[in-house]
Amino acid sequence: MTDETRIAVPATAKAGTHCDLAGYEALYAQSMENPDGFWRDQIGRLDWVKTPTVMGNWSYDPVDIKWFEDGVLNASTQCLDRHLATRGDQTAIIWEADSPDAPSRTLTYRELHGEVCRMANVLKGMGVTKGDRVTIYMPMIPEAATAMLACARVGAVHSVVFGGFSPDAISGRIQDADCRFVITADAGARGGRPVPLKVNVDKALESCPGVTGVLVVRHDGKPVAMADGRDVWWHEARETVPAHCAPEPMGAEDPLFILYTSGSTGKPKGVLHTTGGYMLWANLTFHYVFDYREGEIHWCTADVGWVTGHSYIVYGPLSQGATTLMFEGIPNYPDVSRFWQVIEKHKVNIFYTAPTALRALMREGEAPVKKHDRSSLRLLGSVGEPINPEAWLWYWRTVGDEKLPIIDTWWQTETGGVLISSLPGAIDMKPGSATKPFFGVCPELVDAEGQFIEGPASGNLVLTRSWPGQMRTVYGDHERFVQTYFSTYKGMYFTGDGARRDEDGYWWITGRVDDVINVSGHRLGTAEIESALVAHPDVAEAAVVAVPHDIKGQGIYAYVTPNMGVEATEDMVKELKFCVREHISPIATPDFIHLTPALPKTRSGKIMRRILRKIAENDTSNLGDISTLADPSVVQALIEGRKNR
């Protein structure tokens, strides 16, 4: 894919947009030249108990970040109370079950408000007070959102742990955040299989004696053990409390939540977000990046256990009064057309998913997509990894019929919300590029010494200015926060990602900096080589890592997953090498191609390159923390495959 492949803003995206190109340029310029004025214009997007007088007050050296510090508000009020007068009877949440045969559920804003207040009262009754940390370990059901908002209501700090994690991963996170309370459910369902949530919590709590209360939502309905004096059924407790609860007034810099990063690169970090800045960022980005229009149905397929679910299932959409869809299931159950069937059923307008899901669905061809009516769709989005141009074009052609804007949103758990993305009504798209920075975001490229690189170039992606949604610390380890993000390049936030800026000032994320490969002095982004491999019609997915090489310094080791039904042959390996040579350059030709039916992925679907690197190097003695892997058996198969080379 060349930089010249440029797709103009579709007519469907121009009509009724909140922001055209002139609007984007004017607001972006204001956010850079007069940040104080820009944020003063934006703070009215939230309902404050006390409107802040101070906007940004931050420094990256020494590190001290505050936004709206004298403001007072409550996050749950933004998502509930302020909608009651105008849209109390509008649907806030649509829930779609794992099985298409199970009935879906809806909750209006008024109903959700009542549920949140009741749960807040129950939590108070269990002894939860302002500042307490509460672990939420839930399936994708409306009560997960209720639990988050109930914590916010009473000023407790939630720590959502993805419902697919093991007891060990739960207890580690409970201990790290020193939680005394857990909210969970009896069991969930994914792909037709039960997920034993309560059993996992019980096991986890064997090593967490500090936990004094567990609130259990009945979802699956099968019997579970309940510990006397510790465990409380939600459906029983909710009958005993009133459906109103005054929101706790919170300082803008009071913590709203802790969330552990997905763990692709090492031990998960407890990323801490605060109330005012995070809420404004979630709300503002939802408004502009998704170009949300009144009455639309928004579906983000992430789990609430990831930041994407926090910002774009719960806080962004609900603070804007949108209808947000929560889906308990997975893309390929009962078959691979499930996503498109849900879109048809609920007339989804905005669809936001991850490249990993798109690549998996792409393998199945277009028939499962085309058989469903997708005419309700207005916008398609992607997040989580670089989206290969091949997958982007499939999304554009097959799902969007070449009419719908695609937003490729680059951001991190640490950033709270989107930082680089096209605005659908304003910015021309380039397949594979996240395009332009959002308001207030100032990306730069630096070299290894931290010197700025100007013009079209590749380098390390840093941010030189703070934005309200930025994380404030690593929970319990501020030094790790400073070390991880602000010590590589003094006075800048280092993202850990590499990027390229092209002649039009468009941003291309080239992958994590650790994944840059230096072949005979040429720096190659793994994302680019992977895209060349995935462009082959028989390839579903690829992951490229560096291996030590006597002559070149580093060599290229490529793991490649062929499409369903394609045989792994030596000819295919030859063809793939040829593909990369043609697409990029002979320098980028992989030294090894390892054909494999599966790649190791985190629970959020990201490829764990750290492990692939070890296997490629034949150093499997210490693979590090693999507790966040979706399917650990993949690792053994890869090690065997490596031995047979």
Torsion sign (Cα): 374, 375, 376, 381: positive
Task: Identify the residue among 42, 91, 108, 264 touching ligand ATP (CB under 6 A).
Answer: 264
Q: Return the number of the residue (325 or 461) whose C-beta is nearest ligand ATP.
A: 461
Instruction: Give me the least distance between CB of 496 and ligand ATP, in Å please.
Output: 6
Give the distance from CA 400 to its chain's centroid. 22
Q: Taking CB under 6 A as the rule, does residue 385 contact ligand ATP?
A: yes
Distance between first and last Cα of the chain: 32
| 332 labeled binding residue | yes
Q: Which range of residues in 29-37, 165-173, 403-411, 576-584 is near ligand ATP by CB under 6 A?
A: 403-411
Q: Which range of residues in 89-97, 158-166, 174-182, 383-391 is near ligand ATP by CB under 6 A?
A: 383-391
Q: Return the number of the residue (52 or 384) whose C-beta is nearest ligand ATP.
A: 384
Q: Return the number of the residue (411 or 439) whose C-beta is nearest ligand ATP.
A: 411
76: part of which helix (H) or strand (E)?
Answer: helix 75-79
221: part of which helix (H) or strand (E)?
Answer: none
Instruction: Give me the least distance between CB of 473 and ligand ATP, in Å please.
Output: 15
Q: Which range of residues in 140-148, 396-404, 406-414, 564-572 is near ligand ATP by CB under 6 A?
A: 406-414
| 449 labeled binding residue | no
197: part of which helix (H) or strand (E)?
Answer: helix 197-205
Instruction: Give me the least distance between CB of 515 and ligand ATP, in Å please.
Output: 9
Residue 427 and residue 308: Cα distance in Å, rounded? 22
Q: Return the number of the residue (82 or 267) whose C-beta is nearest ligand ATP.
A: 267
| 582 labeled binding residue | no
Q: Return the number of the residue (472 or 512) whose C-beta is nearest ligand ATP.
A: 512
608: part of which helix (H) or strand (E)?
Answer: none
Cis peptide before 100 (omega within 30 of 0): no
Task: Identify the residue among 268, 424, 425, 555 touching ligand ATP (CB under 6 A).
Answer: 268
Q: Return the number of the residue (213 or 316) whose C-beta is nearest ligand ATP.
A: 316
Residues 199-228, interacting with ligand ATP (CB under 6 A): none
Q: State the helix-helix crossing angle for 109-125 and 142-154, rounded to 10 degrees.
A: 60
Residues 590-629, interacting with ligand ATP (CB under 6 A): 606
Q: Return the number of the residue (93 or 399) whose C-beta is nearest ligand ATP.
A: 399
Tokens of 173: 């996170």
Q: How many CA atoms lie within 13 A of 100 on its CB side?
A: 17
Size of the site for ligand ATP (CB under 6 A): 23
Q: Return the number of the residue (368 or 605) whose C-beta is nearest ligand ATP.
A: 605
Tell me which residue of 598, 535, 531, 539 sits closest to 363, measured CA to CA. 539
For residue 426, what is the DSSP state? Answer: T
Residue 105 and residue 97: Cα distance in Å, rounded? 8
Tokens of 476: 């319990």
Residues 482-511, interacting with ligand ATP (CB under 6 A): 495-497, 509
Mention every residue, 6+ apart, whose C-beta is less than 8 A from residue 71. Answer: 43, 48, 50, 51, 52, 251, 252, 276
Tokens of 266: 């090492």
287: part of which helix (H) or strand (E)?
Answer: helix 275-289
Classify strands 91-96 and 255-260 as parallel, antiparallel or unpaired.
unpaired
Residues 409-428, interacting with ligand ATP (CB under 6 A): 409-413
Instruction: Give me the least distance between CB of 565 and ligand ATP, in Å please.
Output: 30
Tell me which residue of 414, 472, 467, 412 sits closest to 274, measured CA to CA. 472
Residue 621 and residue 624: Cα distance in Å, rounded? 9
Task: Identify the residue among 213, 251, 263, 389 touching ligand ATP (CB under 6 A).
Answer: 263
Q: Which range of residues in 42-50, 115-123, 222-230, 404-412 is near ligand ATP by CB under 6 A?
A: 404-412
Tell me which residue of 388, 383, 337 sits closest to 539, measured CA to CA. 388
Q: Return the number of the residue (262 or 275) whose C-beta is nearest ligand ATP.
A: 262
Quick check: 572 and 595 in contact, CB under 8 A?
Answer: yes
Q: Return the number of the residue (108 or 602) whose C-beta is nearest ligand ATP.
A: 602
Q: Taking CB under 6 A as the rule, does residue 384 contact ligand ATP?
A: yes
Residue 548 and residue 621: Cα distance in Å, rounded? 17
Instruction: Give me the least distance between CB of 453 and ligand ATP, in Å please.
Output: 19
Q: Taking CB under 6 A as the rule, does residue 174 contact ligand ATP?
A: no
Instruction: Give me the least distance between CB of 445 and ligand ATP, in Å please.
Output: 15
Residue 271 and residue 306: Cα distance in Å, rounded? 11
Place of tokens 């469907």: 12
- Residues near ligand ATP, by CB under 6 A: 261-265, 268, 383-386, 408-413, 434, 495-497, 509, 512, 606
Binding residue ranges for ATP? 384-386, 408-413, 497, 512, 523
Per the annotation, binding residues are 190-193, 308, 332, 384-386, 408-413, 497, 512, 520, 523, 534, 536, 539, 581
